[in-house]
A and B are shown apart, each in its own frame.
Chain A
Amino acid sequence: MAKHANDRLGGTLDLLILNAVARSGAMHGYAIAQAIRGWSDEMLEIEDGSLYPALHRMTEEKWLKAEWGITETNRKARFYAITAAGRRQLESEERTWAQLIDAVGRVLRGAGAGG
C-alpha cells in the first residue's frame, strides 16, 4: 500500500494525478498536465514527460484504468480514469499529505518559538 511513503516526490506526483483524475473524470496525459499546471497557477514546474512513468505505474497498480480514445483535435491518446482502489489510494495519500504538512508546520512553528 504505502509503497511510495518514503518517496515524497513520487508520492506527490501520484497525489496530484489522482486528484486531477478524481475531479475531472477520464483525461489524457496532456489534459492531466494542463489541469495540474492550471490549479497550481503554474507554480508547480513538472516536466510533462515525467507523468508517463507515473501513469503507467498507477495503471499497473490498478489505481487508474486506461482506455484508448480520440482527443478533441482528433488524435489517438490514452484516457486515464480513477478506479475504486484509486479513490482509496487518493484518500490515504491526502491523509499522509495533510499529516506531513501538519508535521512540517509544527516543526517550523516550534523552531520559530525556540528562536
Chain B
Amino acid sequence: MSLWSRLQNAVRPGRLDGELTSEVETHLALLEAEEVKRGASPEEARRRARRRFGNEAVYRERARERDLLGWVESTLRDAAFAARQLRKAPGFTATAVLLLALEIGVNTAIFTLLNSIVLHPLPLEHAERLVVLLEEMPGGGDSPPSWLDQRDFREQNRVFESVGAFSYASTFVLRAGSGETSRVRGGLVTPDYFTTLGVRPVVGRLFTAEEAQAGNDAVALVHEDFWRETLNGDPAVLGREIELNGRRSKIVGVLPRRFRFPWDQVAVWAPLVPAAEQAKDRGWHGFPMVGRLKAGVRLEQAERELSGVMKRLSAAYPEQDRDRTHVLLWPLQRWSVGQTRDRLVVLQGAALAVFLMTCANVGSLLLARHSGRRREFALRAALGASTARQIRQHLTESLLLAGIGCAAGAVVAYGGVQFLLRLYGTSLPREAEIGVDWRLVVYSAGATLAGAVAFGLATALAGRAGGLERALREGGHTAGSRKSARTRKALVAAQVACAVTLVAGAVELVRGFERLTRVESGLDMAHVLTMRVALPDSQYGDGAGISDFFERAVSRVSAVAGVKSAASINLLPIQQSGFNGSLEVPGLPKPPSNYFVELRWVKGDYFRTMGIPLVRGRNFLPEEMGGRRGAAIINETMARTLWGERDPIGWPLETTPDPGRVVGVVRDVRQSGLEQAARPEMYMPLTAESFRQTEQSIVVRSPLGAAALGAAIRREIAGVDGQAAVYQVQPMEEVAAESVRYAKITATLLALFAGLALLLAAFGLHGVMSYVVHERMREFAIRMAIGAQPGQLAGAIFGQSLKMVGVGVALGLGGVWVVTRVLPDVLYGVHAVDARSVGAAVAVLGAAAGVALAAPAWRATHIDAIEMLRED
C-alpha cells in the first residue's frame, strides 16, 4: 500500500472500512449461496455462512490494525463512532455541550482578565524587582514621601540599584498645534524614573538630569498611541512643540505602547520639578517613589532598612513626619493593579466552583447514560472487544464531548471578555494589555481535558465493575449500577454544597450593594451637573489668578439661562478625597496623629447648589467669600469628633492659609465613595491666599441636563479663559453611580455565578432522581398494584432527595463558614455572611430542589402499574 493510500485511509477511515465491508459482504453472500445450493433454508444458510466466515468484527478489526497509521485511523473511527453515539442521544449531548460551553466560557473569560491584569508580568525588564515606596501612616493607610523625605531615602539606602520619583498630579492641559485645549492624563516624573523602570524610547531619548532643573524643563515625552493618533504619527515628531499646561514644550522622545506608568491611559510625561514651596515643605507628602531593588535583595529586607531611615526622619522632624515609622514597599505589579486583583481572585474562585460543579454534572450525566448502556457494553465485550478498547471508546466519547464544549466555550469566552470589558468600561487597570495568550489556551484546554479524562475513566471503570454476565443476565434492570448511583448522589450533594456557598455569598453581596445604594449621600444629587476645569499651570502661578478665574467663571455660569445656581470646589464629593491636613484647634485637646481633616475651598453658593443642608450657624457672608474675613464651615463629623458637646460656632481656627472662625456646621457628605464613612471636613472660601490648585470642579444646579447646558457652560468658561480645559461633564448622580460601579459589577457577576450554580445543582438533582424513579419503576408499580397511595410514593422520592440535599446543605454551611473567614476584606465591607443570607440561600435552594423533583415525583405517582408489569 502506498504512503498516499495509507494517508488516505487515515484521513478517510470510511474508505477502507467501506471496501472491507463490501468485500466481506460479497464473501458472505457467496458462502450463503453455496449453502443454499446444498439445500439449506435461507435463514439456515445465512447462519452457516456466518459461522464459516468466523467473527467478522474481529477479522475486520485485525485487518484494519495492520495499517501503519492504523491508530490514527482507529482513533478517528472511535471519534466517528462516538459522534454517532452522541448524535443518537441529542438531549444528552446538547445538555452536556451546553454545560461545558457555559462553564469553559465563563471560566476562560474571568481568567482572561485575571491573567492579563494580575498574572501577566509587567512589560518591563525584571519587573519583579520594581517596587513603589510609600510611607505608612499612623493608624494604617499610606501616603507618599515629601520631596525632602524622598531625597533622604535616595541618599540613605543601600537596597536600591536605582530609584525615581513621580507626582500624583495626573491631569495635563494640552494643546497640540492650533487645536483646542484638551485634558490628557500625564505623568510628572524624575529623569531617573525611566531608567529605574528600564524603559527605552521607541524614538528619541529620555529626559536628561539637566531637564529636571526649573527653566530647562519645557520638554515632553509622548506615548506611542498619542503620537500615532493625536500627532498622526508625525515622522518629524522630535523637536515638535506642544503646549503643555500653558507652556510650549519640546517633544524629545516617544515611549512604547506597552509602557503605561504611572497610570493607565497616560499620554504625556514631563519632568517633575517641584514648586518651590513643595520642595522645601517636608509636610507636603506628594511624591511616591519607584525603585529597582538590587539583585538578591528581598522585599522584607528592603522594607526593614528603609523603615530605619523613616524612623530617623520621624525623630528628626517630629512636626512633619510625626508617627511615620515604617515604609510600605509595594511590588509595582500589585500597586498598579490595586484591589482589582483580590476582586478578580474572588470571582475566579466562584468560576472555579462552577467549573467543578459542571464536571460533576457532566460526569453524572455520563454515568447515567452509561448505566443505560451497560447491556450494550457487555455485549460488545462478549463479542471480543478488549477492555482497553472499551476504555478507549469511553475516553474518546468524553474527549469529543469536551472538544465540542471547548469550541463552543471559546465563543462564549470571547463574548464574555467583550461583555466584561464593557461592564468595567475603561476603569480596569492594564486594560490595553487584556487579551488572549498561551497561558489562557493552556488553562482552558487543560481544565477541559482533565475534566474529560476524569469522566471518561470514571464511566469506563464503572462499566467494568459490574461483571459481564450479570449485566447481560439482568437485562435493562441493572442492580450492578448501584455503585454508580451512589457516586452520582455524592456528586449531587457536593453540588448542593457549592450552590449553598455561592448563593449565600452572592445574596450577602447583593444585599451589601443594596445598602450602598440606599446610603444617605448627604446631598441632593438630582438636577446637579458637574465638570472638572483645569487651568494651564504655568499661567496660574499664584492663588490670585485661580481665585479670580473661578470667581468670574462661577458668576458667568450662574447667569446661563436655566441655571439656578453654580459654585466651584476643589474636590467633588463621593468622587475624590485625600486633600487633607492635620489640624490643631486652640482650646481643644490635641487630636491623634492620624486625625486628618479634608480641606475644601469653594466659590459661589456651594451648599445651596449641592443641596447640603446647614445644621447650625450660617452660610458664608459676602465679605468672607471675598477673603476680607476668615471663615470656615465644618461638617457634623468634625464638630462631633473635635468639639464633642461644645458648640463650635464662633470658635477661632488657626489653619493655614486662612485663619478664621467656624461660622456653620453642615450635614456630612461622603467624600470618597458611598461605601466609605464620612470623614472630618472643613469648607473655606477660595481666595488669593488659598492653597494653589489649578484643577477644580464647577457644579451647577439646573433642571436642564448636560446635553442642554453643556455647550453654553463651556462657552462661558472659554469666555473667561480660552485655555481652560473642561472635561468629565456629568450629572452628580452618575458620579455617585460610578463610585459603586465595582461593587455592582462584583455583585452582579457573583449573582450570575450563584444562579448558574443553583441551576446546576437543581439539574443534577433532577437527573439523579429521574434515574432513581426509572430504576424503581417496577417496584413502584408493584407497590401501586398492592394498594400504595401516590402520596407515599412521592414521599419516598422526596425522602431520598432530602438526604442528598441535607448532606449538601450541611457541607455548604461549612463552606460559608470557611469562605467568610478566608476571604480578605475585598467585598466592600462584607466581612461575614449573616444568618439571613444563609437562610435565603437555603430557601432558594429548597425551592429549586422542589422544582427539580416535581417531574420525577409526578412520573412515579402516575405509573400504569399493569402496563409496567406486563412489559417484562
Contacts and interface: CB of A to CB of B under 8 A. Distances in A.
Nearest to A29: B27
A112 to B, nearest CB: 37
A32 B62 CA distance: 19
Contacts of A47: 52-55, 59
Given A49-B59, A56-B63, A75 B54 contact: no
Contacts of B20: 52, 56
A96 B508 CA distance: 85
Interface residues of B, number: 25
A49 B31 contact: no
Contacts of B29: 73, 75
Contacts of A77: 22-23, 26-27
A73 B37 CA distance: 14
A48 interface: yes
Contact of B54 (A28, A50, A56, A76): A50
A52 B1 contact: no
Interface in A14-45: 28-30, 33
B437 interface: no
A49 B53 contact: yes
A91 interface: no
A45 B374 CA distance: 35
A92 interface: no
A59 interface: yes
B54 A48 contact: yes
Contacts of A73: 29-30, 33
Contacts of B56: 49
A48 B26 contact: no
Interface residues of A, number: 20
A110 interface: no
B66 interface: yes
B89 to A, nearest CB: 32
A60 B16 CA distance: 13
Contacts of B33: 73
A48 B27 contact: yes
A78 interface: yes
A78 B54 contact: no
B24 A52 contact: yes
A73 B480 CA distance: 50
A41 B62 CA distance: 28
B155 interface: no
Contacts of A52: 20, 23-24, 59-60, 63
A22 B511 CA distance: 89
Contact of B66 (A30, A33, A57): A57
A30 B63 contact: no
Nearest to A57: B66
A60 B1 contact: yes
B66 A53 contact: yes
Nearest to B51: A47
B30 A30 contact: yes
A77 B22 CA distance: 7
A60 B66 contact: yes
A71 interface: yes
A49 B24 contact: yes
A77 B1 CA distance: 18
B70 to A, nearest CB: 11
Contacts of A76: 22, 26
Given A30-B31, A57-B66, A49 B26 contact: no
Interface string B15-57: 0000110111111011101000000000000000000111110
A64 to B, nearest CB: 11
A78 B19 contact: yes
Most buried by B among A50, A71, A73: A50
A60 B64 CA distance: 12
A75 B22 CA distance: 9
Nearest to B20: A52
B594 to A, nearest CB: 86
B386 to A, nearest CB: 16
A71 B30 contact: yes
B71 to A, nearest CB: 16
A29 B62 CA distance: 16
A8 to B, nearest CB: 18
B30 A53 contact: no
Interface in A46-103: 47-50, 52-53, 56-57, 59-60, 71, 73, 75-78
A48 B26 CA distance: 12
A57 B25 CA distance: 19
A71 B26 contact: yes
Contacts of A33: 27
Interface in B248-272: none
Contacts of A57: 66
Most buried by B among A50, A52, A76, A78: A52
Nearest to A76: B22
A95 to B, nearest CB: 25
Given A49-B54, A52-B20, A75 B59 contact: no
A76 B59 CA distance: 19
A28 to B, nearest CB: 7
A56 B30 contact: no
B1 A48 contact: no
Contacts of A56: 20, 63, 66
Contacts of B25: 75
B53 A48 contact: yes
A73 to B, nearest CB: 7
A50 B23 contact: no
Interface string B794-827: 0000000000000000000000000000000000
A85 to B, nearest CB: 14
Given A48-B31, A50-B59, A28 B26 contact: yes
Contacts of B54: 47-50
A63 B422 CA distance: 68
Contacts of A53: 59, 62-63, 66
B764 to A, nearest CB: 46
A30 B25 CA distance: 10
Nearest to B52: A48
A71 B27 CA distance: 10
Contacts of A29: 23, 26-27
Interface string B224-251: 0000000000000000000000000000
A83 B55 CA distance: 29
Nearest to B59: A49
Contacts of B60: 52
B1 A30 contact: no
B27 A30 contact: yes
A33 B28 CA distance: 12
A40 B24 CA distance: 23
Contacts of B62: 53
Nearest to A62: B1
A53 B66 CA distance: 7
Contacts of B66: 53, 56-57, 60
A57 B22 CA distance: 18
Interface in B401-448: none
A28 B27 CA distance: 8
Contacts of B1: 59-60
B627 to A, nearest CB: 103
Given A47-B54, A48-B31, A48-B53, A75 B63 contact: no
A52 B23 CA distance: 9
Contacts of B63: 52-53, 56
A76 B24 CA distance: 10
B50 to A, nearest CB: 9
A96 to B, nearest CB: 22
Given A49-B59, A53-B62, A60-B1, A30 B52 contact: no
Given A49-B59, A53-B63, A75-B30, 12 more contacts: A28-B23, A29-B26, A30-B26, A30-B27, A30-B31, A48-B52, A48-B54, A52-B59, A53-B59, A56-B66, A71-B26, A75-B26
Across the A-B interface, the 7 shortest Cβ-Cβ residue pairs: A47-B54, A49-B54, A49-B59, A53-B62, A30-B30, A77-B26, A53-B63
8 contacts: A28-B23, A29-B26, A47-B59, A49-B55, A49-B56, A52-B63, A59-B1, A73-B33
